């Protein structure tokens, strides 16, 4: 079966009904995040790359029809109308790496209704997850304040696909590397040295360190906290001096009070004349812990973040939605409590200081307003240039630029304040008109 079956059953039941009823005119769905989580001052748009891969290859094959029919618990012929359904629509989106705010469309899909509906689950899944993780990783980079940050999250992400994405998204927001071998192959440099098991297998740290240097000539990093951190640092220093190593080498702290241990480790290394040997620290770090260490002046040169970044532990999901905003030229919205959505095809206009305006696609941009959504797919084909790697590089530059322009309040690690986008006058008026229409005409018959 193809990726087309990675969907929710209701997409299938609805799509079959649209086809049967002839509801195949163009529809626009808008994907946005309702609120920014408590400890986030902004979000980083991400997930578009796999979404465009998915949409450009989307096609329901005969095996998929069998799977759909089985899920419906109906004979195959009942799912036959889906056979051959491909994605031939357009996608406008905020490019990966850009900073986005609550309520702003990250992506709008315009396609014949059955197509635009059937792809919902996958598109939401990817954008939601990846925007969540990129936004968390961005804060780790900010907290490190210029010190390199690397990704060690693979062992605790939600599966290996999520591990791969954590590495890619870290690279997007400025991580210096990842421990994840397959992700590093595609997305950026790999980093890593040894685990406690390595020391224990040899028995003593000295034997282990010497063996490691034999296998891996050149700069090495020694893990020093298997038995007693300060003794471990002393042993590492002795072996490094003995082998004539120093520049490019490091010791790694993986547990305990990292700030205190870093100070003591630095003292031991400097005392041995190993001023050029760096200190890498990790173990349960997130942006809050990195921020505390950096602000305390801990002599840590490089930070490894893992679990808490890789799963965005304090906010592991976003309140995102993929909402129908227009069908066959008619703007639509829902009214049920607490989830009112704006109708119509939209554009986000960014003005200096993140005074963003969410407006209608066809309204004139406000003075100084930069439109954020670009056309990234036309009639089912990517409208982007470059290859994966160059697109990731572009995303990294975009994030660096957007981060530099962020207000201080939004950049804070503790209690950040996210800028709020406002709705344009034309969009507000359209929402009022559509609401009035629903209340007076659509619901009239049900009073």
Site for a second copy in 19-38 (CB under 8 A): 20-21, 23, 27, 29
Nearer to a second copy by Cβ, of 71 and 272: the residue is: 71
Site for a second copy in 189-208 (CB under 8 A): 189-206
Cα–Cα distance for residue pair 101/93, rounded to 1 Å: 14
Q: Is 160 in the site for a second copy (CB under 8 A)?
A: yes
Which two tokens mark 175? 């991580």
User: Cβ of residue 129: shortest distance to a second copy, in angstroms?
Assistant: 5
DSSP class of 442:
I
Q: Is 427 in the site for a second copy (CB under 8 A)?
A: no
**Residue 7 CA: distances (Å) to CA of 13, 304, 331, 334:** 11, 35, 26, 23
Site for a second copy in 84-113 (CB under 8 A): 113
Binds a second copy (CB under 8 A): choice among 72, 83, 361, 423:
72
Cα–Cα distance for residue pair 230/152, rounded to 1 Å: 24
By DSSP bridging, strand 330-331 and strand 43-44 are unpaired
Nearer to a second copy by Cβ, of 133 and 431: the residue is: 133
User: Cβ of residue 20: shortest distance to a second copy, in angstroms?
Assistant: 5
Tell which residue, 348, 361, 356, has the closest CA to residue 110.
361
Q: Is 1 in the site for a second copy (CB under 8 A)?
A: yes
Q: Is 272 in the site for a second copy (CB under 8 A)?
A: no
Which residue has 């357009």 as its token pair?
90
User: Cβ of residue 205: shortest distance to a second copy, in angstroms?
Assistant: 7
Nearer to a second copy by Cβ, of 136 and 350: the residue is: 136
The answer for residues whose C-beta is within 8 angstroms of residue 410's C-beta and 6 or more apart is 41, 42, 354, 416, 417, 418, 419
Q: Is 163 in the site for a second copy (CB under 8 A)?
A: yes
Q: Is 44 in the site for a second copy (CB under 8 A)?
A: no
Which residue has 């003292």 as its token pair?
267
Site for a second copy in 327-356 (CB under 8 A): 327, 330, 332-339
Cα–Cα distance for residue pair 79/411, rounded to 1 Å: 50
Tell me how far the alpha carbon of residue 9 is from its chain's centroid.
26
User: Cβ of residue 26: shortest distance to a second copy, in angstroms?
Assistant: 11
Given CA atoms 352, 356, 131, 286 in this order, what sign does their dihedral have?
positive
User: Cβ of residue 371: shortest distance to a second copy, in angstroms?
Assistant: 25
Cα–Cα distance for residue pair 297/377, rounded to 1 Å: 47
Site for a second copy in 209-268 (CB under 8 A): 211-212, 214-216, 225-229, 231-232, 234-235, 254-257
Nearer to a second copy by Cβ, of 257 and 429: the residue is: 257
The answer for residues whose C-beta is within 8 angstroms of residue 10's C-beta and 6 or more apart is none
Binds a second copy (CB under 8 A): choice among 58, 152, 222, 354:
152
Q: Is 384 in the site for a second copy (CB under 8 A)?
A: no
Cα–Cα distance for residue pair 304/151, rounded to 1 Å: 6
Binds a second copy (CB under 8 A): choice among 52, 60, 67, 357:
67
């Amino acid at each position: 079966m193809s990726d087309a079956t990675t969907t929710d059953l209701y997409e299938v039941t609805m799509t079959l009904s649209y086809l049967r009823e002839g509801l195949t005119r163009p529809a626009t769905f808008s994907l946005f995040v309702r609120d920014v989580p408590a400890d986030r001052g902004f979000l980083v748009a991400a997930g578009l790359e796999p979404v465009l891969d998915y949409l450009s290859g989307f096609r329901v094959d005969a095996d998929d029809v069998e799977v759909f029919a089985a899920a419906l618990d109906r004979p195959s012929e009942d799912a036959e109308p889906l056979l051959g359904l491909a994605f031939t629509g357009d996608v406008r989106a905020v490019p990966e790496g850009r900073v986005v705010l609550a309520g702003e469309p990250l992506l709008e899909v315009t396609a014949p209704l059955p197509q635009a509906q059937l792809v919902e689950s996958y598109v939401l899944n990817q954008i939601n997850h990846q925007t969540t993780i990129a936004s968390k990783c961005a804060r780790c980079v900010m907290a490190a304040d210029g010190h390199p940050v690397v990704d060690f999250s693979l062992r605790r992400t939600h599966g290996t696909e999520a591990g791969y994405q954590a590495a890619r998204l870290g690279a997007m927001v400025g991580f210096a590397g990842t421990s994840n071998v397959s992700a590093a192959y595609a997305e950026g440099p790999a980093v890593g040295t040894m685990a406690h098991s390595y020391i224990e297998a040899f028995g003593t740290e000295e034997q282990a360190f010497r063996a490691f240097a034999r296998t891996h000539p050149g700069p090495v990093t020694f893990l020093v906290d298997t038995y007693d951190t300060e003794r471990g640092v002393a042993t590492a220093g002795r072996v490094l001096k003995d082998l004539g190593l120093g520049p490019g080498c490091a010791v790694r702290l993986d547990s305990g009070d990292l700030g205190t241990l870093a100070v003591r480790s630095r003292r031991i290394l400097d005392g041995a004349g190993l001023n050029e040997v760096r200190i890498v620290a990790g173990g349960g770090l997130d942006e809050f812990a990195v921020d505390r260490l950096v602000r305390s002046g801990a002599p840590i040169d490089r930070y490894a973040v893992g679990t808490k970044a890789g799963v965005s532990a304090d906010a592991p999901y976003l309140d995102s939605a993929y909402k129908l905003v227009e069908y066959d030229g008619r703007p639509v919205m829902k009214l049920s409590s607490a989830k009112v959505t704006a109708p119509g095809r939209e554009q986000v206009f960014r003005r200096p200081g993140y005074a963003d305006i969410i407006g209608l696609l066809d309204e004139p941009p406000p003075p100084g307003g930069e439109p954020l959504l670009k056309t990234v797919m036309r009639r089912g084909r990517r409208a982007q240039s470059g290859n994966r790697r160059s697109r990731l590089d572009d995303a990294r530059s975009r994030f660096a630029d957007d981060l530099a322009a962020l207000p201080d309040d939004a950049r804070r690690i503790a209690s950040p304040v996210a800028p709020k986008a406002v709705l344009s006058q034309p969009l507000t008026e359209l929402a009022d008109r559509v609401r009035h229409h629903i209340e007076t005409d659509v619901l009239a018959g049900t009073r």
